[in-house]
């Protein structure tokens, strides 16, 4: 299987050997029979394959992990109960007190907040390399570099191959959050990144009905994260959620094509609207990194569009958001339904006003997650909401 569309349907899944069921069954069991003391001891010691307890592994979850490893071109993957559980498990599983993590932002506010609170509480220093440049911020204590494939909410890019080469030369691990792009648009491991993670809650699930996260990469690294995140922290994904993600991923390439087409149309409309000061979308030729986006993204520029109102104030943003009818006000993204939010008061309320200002997150900024509705209907909804400000 070479085409992503085919692999999204078939990778990691096989007809059930007992019943012949095509859809992977939900294995709703907390514990598993391992037969003999000797086999149980071997499984617990990691010397034999097998299931023992669903916190450590479950057949439904394992099918999802195999599918995501295949789609990202990784040796292995491990799934968690949320994207934030992935982030905390990566920090606690691969770093130790005295280590530093450098990040290129702006990041999702919850990620930076986790670095600043949980990470620093455990003696892991977080260093923002966004403005100074990565090379200038690396020290002998740097053990990890974190980057998003599209930044949240400004939709900027970082050259992943360049980041990977710089870090690898110093023996530093790299992690890319690929939530916004999915394997359909970019595969960071192919560009030299060590580990790729997702909030599966977003595009991978796609229907707003499941919460989960996943990280994929080299088997040894994934095993270390699994041991900490599942064995010690207990952030495992439930089999019901895994079933929903397996279902959602089957249509991921088709949905991403629709998301990208709709977002491109919405971005073009907003760029020409008199009430809009700026539009952030890598598919626009006006985007400062459009050339990098063309090189690094494949098959589309994503389903997210962020724009800033000419009236750069919260009251104006509220007027527009509260008038929307097809776009639902919600903080998630990647659903088949179109969503809209005000980053300064929601996704990035975790960071200080000064940090928001440095990241360009203004009070007049609105973030759109463009769903799979017809673009004409979405544009009409935005037009009527913006009309009073024109």
Q: Which residues are catalytic?
A: 55, 108, 177, 202
Nearest to 356 by CA among 301, 293, 314: 314
Positive or negative: CA dihedral 77, 81, 83, 85: negative
Nearest to 350 by CA among 156, 116, 148: 116
Q: For the chain, what is the radius of gyration of the CA atoms?
A: 21
- The backbone region for 340, taken as left when phi is positive above 0, alpha when psi lies in -120 to 50, beta otherwise, is beta
C-alpha dist (Å) from residue 21 to 8, 114, 367: 18, 41, 41
Report the 10 Å Cβ neighbour count for 70.
Answer: 19
Cβ–Cβ < 8 Å for 86, 197: yes
Sort 292 into a burial class: Cβ within 10 Å, 0-12 / 13-18 / 19+. middle
Give the integer Cα–Cα distance in Å for 354 and 87: 24
Sort 42 into a burial class: Cβ within 10 Å, 0-12 / 13-18 / 19+. middle
Q: Is 268 helix (H, G, I), strand (E, B) or coil?
A: helix
Give the integer Cα–Cα distance in Å for 236 and 78: 9
Give the integer Cα–Cα distance in Å for 73 and 190: 7
CB contact set of 339 (below 8 Å; sequence gap of 6+): 327, 328, 329, 330, 331, 332, 333, 368, 369, 371
Report the 10 Å Cβ neighbour count for 45.
Answer: 8
Sort strands 339-341 and 328-329 into parallel, antiparallel or unpaired. parallel
Residue 106 tokens, joined: 């702006």
Residue 139 tokens, joined: 């020290």
Give the integer Cα–Cα distance in Å for 335 and 15: 28
């Amino acid at each position: 299987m070479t085409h992503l569309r085919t692999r999204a349907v078939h990778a990691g899944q096989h007809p059930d050997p007992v019943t012949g069921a095509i859809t992977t069954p939900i294995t709703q069991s907390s514990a598993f029979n391992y037969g003999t003391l000797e086999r149980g001891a071997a499984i617990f010691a990691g010397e034999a394959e097998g299931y023992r307890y669903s916190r450590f592994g479950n057949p439904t979850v394992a099918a999802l992990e195999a599918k995501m490893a295949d789609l990202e071109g990784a040796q292995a993957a491990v799934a968690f109960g949320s994207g934030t559980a992935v982030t905390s498990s990566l920090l606690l599983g691969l770093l130790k007190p005295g280590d530093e993590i450098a990040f290129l932002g702006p990041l999702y506010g919850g990620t930076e907040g986790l670095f600043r609170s949980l990470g620093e509480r455990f003696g892991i220093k977080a260093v923002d390399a966004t403005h100074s440049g990565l090379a200038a911020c690396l020290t002998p204590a740097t053990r990890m570099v974190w980057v998003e494939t599209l930044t949240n909410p400004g939709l900027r890019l970082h050259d992943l191959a360049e980041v990977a080469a710089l870090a690898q030369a110093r023996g530093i691990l790299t992690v890319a959050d690929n939530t916004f792009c999915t394997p359909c648009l970019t595969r960071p491991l192919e560009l030299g990144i060590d580990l790729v993670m997702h909030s599966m809650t977003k595009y991978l699930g796609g229907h707003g009905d499941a919460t989960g996260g996943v990280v994929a990469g080299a088997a040894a690294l994934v095993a270390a994260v699994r041991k900490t995140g599942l064995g010690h922290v207990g952030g495992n994904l439930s089999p019901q959620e895994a079933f929903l993600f397996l279902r959602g991923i089957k249509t991921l390439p088709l949905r991403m094509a629709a998301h990208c087409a709709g977002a491109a149309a919405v971005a073009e409309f907003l760029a020409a609207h008199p009430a809009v000061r700026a539009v952030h979308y890598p598919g626009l030729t006006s985007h400062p990194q459009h050339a990098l986006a063309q090189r690094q993204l494949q098959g589309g520029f994503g389903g997210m569009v962020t724009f800033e109102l000419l009236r750069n104030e919260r009251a104006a943003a509220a007027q527009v958001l509260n008038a929307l009818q097809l776009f639902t006000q919600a903080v998630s993204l990647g659903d088949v339904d179109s969503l809209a939010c005000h980053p300064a008061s929601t996704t990035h309320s975790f960071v200080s006003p000064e940090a928001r200002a440095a990241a360009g997150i203004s009070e007049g900024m609105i973030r759109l997650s463009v769903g799979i509705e017809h673009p004409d209907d979405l544009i009409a909804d935005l037009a009527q909401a913006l009309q009073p400000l024109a």
